A and B are shown apart, each in its own frame.
Chain A
Amino acid sequence: MSLQKAFRDPAAAKRLSAAIAAITTRPWNIMEVCGGQTHSIIKYGIDQLLPEGVNLIHGPGCPVCVTPLEYIDKALAIAALPNVILCSFGDMLRVPGSRQDLLGLKAEGADVRIVYSPTDALEIARKHPNQEVVFFGVGFETTAPTIGLAAYQAKQSQLNNFSLLACHVRVPPVIEALLDSPDNRVQGFLGAGHVCTIMGCGEYVPLAERYRVPIVITGFEPVDVLHGLYACIKQLEEGRFEVENAYRRVVREHGNPAAQQLLRQVFEVVDRNWRGLGTIKHGGLALNDDYRDFNAERRFSVDAIATQEPVACRSGDVLKGLLKPSECSEFGVRCTPEKPLGATMVSSEGACAAYYRYRRLQHG
Chain B
Amino acid sequence: MCLAVPGRITRISDDNDPLLRKGRVDFSGIVKEISLAYVPEAQIGDYVIVHAGFALSLLGPGEAEASLQAFHELAEFQDKQ
Contact = CB atoms under 8 A, between A and B. Distances in A.
Do A and B interact?
Answer: yes
Interface of A: 1, 3-4, 6-7, 12, 15-16, 18-19, 22, 34-36, 61-64, 89, 91, 116-120, 138-140, 142-143, 145-146, 149, 152-153, 156, 192, 194-195, 197-198, 220, 223, 227, 230, 246, 248-252, 256, 258-259, 262, 347, 349
Interface in B38-81: 38-40, 47, 49, 51-54, 56-57, 59-61, 63-68, 71, 74-75, 77-78, 81
Contact of A142 (B6, B40, B56): B56
Residue in A3, A194, A249 with the greatest tally of chain B CB atoms within 10 Å = A249
Contacts of B13: none
Given A195-B2, A248-B67, A119 B59 contact: no
A227 B67 contact: yes
A146 B49 contact: no
A105 to B, nearest CB: 22
Contacts, number: 141
A118 B35 CA distance: 11
B67 A140 contact: no
Contacts of B59: 3, 249-250
B20 interface: yes
A145 B68 CA distance: 31
A227 B74 CA distance: 11
Nearest to A14: B75
A189 to B, nearest CB: 15
A19 B1 contact: no
Given A35-B1, A91-B1, A227 B71 contact: yes
A197 B38 CA distance: 11
B12 interface: no
A18 B76 CA distance: 12
Contacts of B8: 1
Contacts of B78: 15, 18-19, 22
Given A34-B2, A194-B2, A249-B67, A15 B75 contact: yes
* The 10 residue pairs across chains A and B that have the minimum distance between CB atoms: A117-B53, A15-B75, A249-B63, A249-B64, A142-B2, A194-B2, A248-B63, A259-B38, A146-B52, A258-B38
Contacts of A258: 18-19, 37-40
A246 B63 CA distance: 10
A258 B17 CA distance: 13
A256 B28 contact: no
Given A197-B49, A259-B38, A140 B56 contact: no
A249 B71 contact: no
B75 A149 contact: no
Interface range for B: 35 or more
B60 A249 contact: yes
A251 B4 CA distance: 12
5 contacts: A3-B6, A3-B65, A194-B51, A248-B63, A256-B56
B71 A3 contact: no
B54 A146 contact: yes
A223 B1 contact: no
Nearest to B4: A194
Nearest to A120: B53
A6 B72 CA distance: 11
Given A153-B20, A227-B71, A143 B1 contact: yes
Contacts of A152: 19
Contact of A250 (B1, B19, B35, B57): B57
